[in-house]
Amino acid sequence: MLRHRIYYRLKPFVPRSIRLGIRRWFATRKRKEVRDIWPIVPASERRPADWLGWPDGKQFALVLTHDVEGKAGLRKCRELMRLEQDLGFCSSFNFIPEGDYKVPPDLRDELESNGFEVGIHDLRHDGRLFLSRREFSRKAARINRYLRDWNAAGFRSGFMLHKLDWLHELNIQYDASTFLGACNCAAETGRQFIRSDPLAMFDLWQAPHWLRRTPLHVAPGLHAFLIAPGADG
């Protein structure tokens, strides 16, 4: 969208306080427009017709992820890992490959050796990953290299921006860039999701599903990948 192109080109030059003020203004307007359907859309509590249930008779599943978006967050990864270990949790840490910090290999190794997952969070986290298909294809090649080098299986784009059909160029096992209830719209618009977006509602029946490949998709040997509902920490 043209609005997104303009915003992310200007973003580096706009003070953070002003950006947050603008976002709050948009969020307030949006909440008024969707007050009848957000945060939970009516009838979302119904079990899907083809839902087989969670394995072993479990009642629910918890997906705990962390998007590490700056140096301050990077410094806290080990502390957070130890805290989760004490509480019996195990999560995924999503790192930006070409952001404003470098991910130490020993940190990735330590996380994985303790049962945690390392994922890819965008490429540069600058809001420009999906500006054009040609540009995305060029960046997808670099993302795939990081996926291979880091032995990573999952991906989440920055700012929840996405075009689901394009993601088949990534050699991933799952994507966590969207909310399940928004997948159909996201494939067409690639729009940004914020917590006040009516399409980013917290459905009571959020569950993973497969996005299958069509002949138009070009990722060699990849026939489908898992869409995981967004649940970042």
Higher-scoring residue by pLDDT: 210, 159: 159
Q: What is the mean pLDDT of residues 168-174?
A: 91
Q: Indicate whether 204 pLDDT > 50.
A: no
Domains of the chain: 2-229 (3.20.20)
pLDDT above 70 covers a percentage of the chain that reads: 72
User: What pLDDT is stored for residue 228 in this prediction?
Assistant: 53
User: What pLDDT is stored for residue 193 in this prediction?
Assistant: 31
Higher-scoring residue by pLDDT: 210, 174: 174
Q: What is the mean pLDDT of residues 71-86?
A: 95
Higher-scoring residue by pLDDT: 24, 114: 114
Instruction: Using pLDDT thresholds of 50, 70 and 90, give the confidence band for residue 53.
Output: confident
Q: Indicate whether 41 pLDDT > 50.
A: yes
Burial 125-146 (b: 16+ CB within 10 A, else e): bbbbbbbeeeebeebbeebbeb
Q: Indicate whether 232 pLDDT > 50.
A: no
Three-state secondary structure readout of 96-152: CCCCCCCCCHHHHHHHHHCCCEEEEECCCCCCCCCCCHHHHHHHHHHHHHHHHHCCC
Q: Indicate whether 123 pLDDT > 80.
A: yes
Instruction: Using pLDDT thresholds of 50, 70 and 90, give the confidence band for residue 73.
Output: very high
Burial 188-222 (b: 16+ CB within 10 A, else e): eebbbbeebbbbbbbbeebbeeebebeeebebeeb
Q: Which range (52-66, 79-93, 211-225) has the least confidence?
A: 211-225
Return mean pLDDT, the chain. 77
Q: What is the mean pLDDT of residues 75-93?
A: 95
Q: Are strands 92-95 and 117-121 parallel, antiparallel or unpaired?
A: parallel
Per the CB < 8 A criterion, the answer to whether 63 and 229 are in contact is yes
Taking the complete model, does pTM exceed 0.95, yes or no? no
Q: Strand pairing partners for 67? A: 94
